[in-house]
Amino acid sequence: MVWGLAAAALGLVGGTAPATALRLGVFGFTLGFAFMCFDYTGDSPLTTRVVPFAIIGVFCAVCAIAMGLAARILRIYWRRHATSG
C-alpha cells in the first residue's frame, strides 16, 4: 500500500513521460529486487536466486510504471473536469 502511494507520488512529479517512466522503473525494480534479496532465507546461496529476483524486479518496475501512469491520467482527468464545471 505504501509503495503504491510512493509510485503514484513519483508519477505526479514533473518531467517528461520518458523520464517519469525511467524514474518509476528504477524505483520499482530496486524496491522489488531489494525486498526479495533482503527477505531471502532459503537454503541455496543468494547468488543462485539473482535471475529469478531480477525477473520479479522487472515485474515490480512494470507495476510502478503503471501506477505512476494511472496517477498522471487521474490528475489530467481531474484538471479537465475541475475547470469545465
From first to last of its 85 residues, what are the pLDDT tens digits of the chain?
A: 788 899 999 999 988 989 999 999 999 999 999 999 998 888 889 899 999 999 999 999 999 999 999 999 998 899 888 876 5
**How far is residue 7's CA from residue 24's CA, in Å, rounded to a whole number?**
7
Predicted model pTM: 0.86
What are the CA-CA distances from residue 15 to residues 27, 35, 41, 75 (Å)? 16, 27, 39, 14
Q: So where are the chain's domains? A: 2-84
Reading the block at residue 32, the C-alpha cell is 522489488
